Amino acid sequence: MELLKAAIRDVGQVLNDNVLKVDSFLNHQIDPALMMAVGEEFARLFVDEGITRILTLESSGIAPALTAGLKLGVPVVFARKKRSAIMNEQAYHTQVYSFTKQETNEVTVLKKFLPAGETVLIIDDFLANGEAALGLASLVEQAESSVAGIGIVIEKAFQNGGAKLKEAGYRVESLARIASLSGGHVAFVEDLAQVK
Ligand code: G4P
């Protein structure tokens, strides 16, 4: 998605060979116009899948999930990383390990917001090792619903998440795929393909 790639090039900061900082439009401050375009692109990609619900993970997945949900006309649910004191109803849980943060979070969603028999689109901001997306897929499967696909805003294609999700049989659509962050420079997968 060219608009997204332009934003990454213009305001993304490469912190090191593994981490791209995009807190000016996605992870802290949010660019509403760009997020609308992101949601429209997810909707275009998944419109034929019969999506009935979107599931994401707090916090940075919420903005792109919301705009995709608006465009597809379906409810958006976010799994929580911290159990709320008033979440005393029946819930599904799964453990998500973050290699980036080296911590495990228990991720929770109330059963009433993830019913059986739904066709669910999973959306997340970053795909690195795929653990968050696999955790969300596990919640959907616990609910006896099906995962129609996984929509990712920014995939770090030099990490193994994309391959893991595809091996597990999921359709993965990433709007920007980063091949490398080496030398402080963002190289997209398409850029490298053109060089070859
Ligand atoms: P994985 O789910 O694909 O295995 O990824 P990982 O555990 O490595 O990622 C953990 C957190 O770090 C996630 O945010 C993810 O979005 C974020 N992250 C991973 N790589 C990058 C990167 O290169 N840049 C940025 N900006 N973030 C990255 P989170 O803990 O869920 O945070 P938030 O949603 O509350 O903002």
Amino acid present at 50:
G
CATH number of domain containing 81: 3.40.50.2020
Residue 81 alpha carbon to ligand 1 centre in Å: 13
- Token pair, residue 64, equals 């792109």
Tens of pLDDT, residues 81-121: 987 666 678 999 999 998 888 999 999 999 999 999 999 99
State which residues form the domain around 187: 2-195
Give the single-character DSSP code of 148: E
Domain count of the fold of the chain = 1
Q: pTM of this prediction?
A: 0.95
Amino acid present at 163:
A
pLDDT in the model for residue 191? 87
Work out the number of other CB atoms within 10 angstroms of the CB of residue 161.
25
Of 2, 112, 21, the closest CA to residue 11 belongs to 21
* Residue 193 confidence class, pLDDT cut points 50, 70, 90: confident
Q: Measured from the CA of 124, which atom of ligand 1 is nearest?
A: 16
Tens of pLDDT, residues 118-176: 999 999 999 999 999 999 999 999 999 999 999 999 999 999 999 999 999 999 999 99
- Phi, psi (degrees; rounded to nearest 5) at 48: -90, 5
Residue 132 alpha carbon to ligand 1 centre in Å: 8
CA gap 161, 53 in Å, rounded: 23
